[in-house]
Amino acid sequence: MKAAINVDDFRELARRRLPRLVFDYLEGGADDELCLRRNRAAIEALHLRPTLLQDVSTIDTSVELFGRRLPLPIAVAPTGLNALIWPDGDLALAH
């Protein structure tokens, strides 16, 4: 398979690699999945407008969170059963 370049590519790789029960757990949402559908619709409604030939040498992606400066605004929310998807998945996320 070609290299994964977007979320759908990664989803397909996961579907092929994981047992069906694990993939369905990972792919699904809670209860009637209403929140999952709303989140997907909100993301799909976003339209990125890339700009070319812009000077990015001084861009600062850091944010302050809980009194600490973080270099990149990415965090992991509480999740469960990560070891189903990757060996020692909880430890891998913590690192």
Tens-digit pLDDT profile for residues 3-59? 899 888 999 999 999 999 999 988 888 889 999 999 999 999 999 888 889 898 999
Q: Which 3 state secondary structure label does DSSP give 39?
A: helix
Q: Would the pTM count as exceeding 0.75?
A: no
Q: At a CB cut-off of 8 Å and minimum separation 6, what does 75 contact? A: 65
* Averaged pLDDT, 64-80: 87
pLDDT (0 to 100) of residue 33: 93
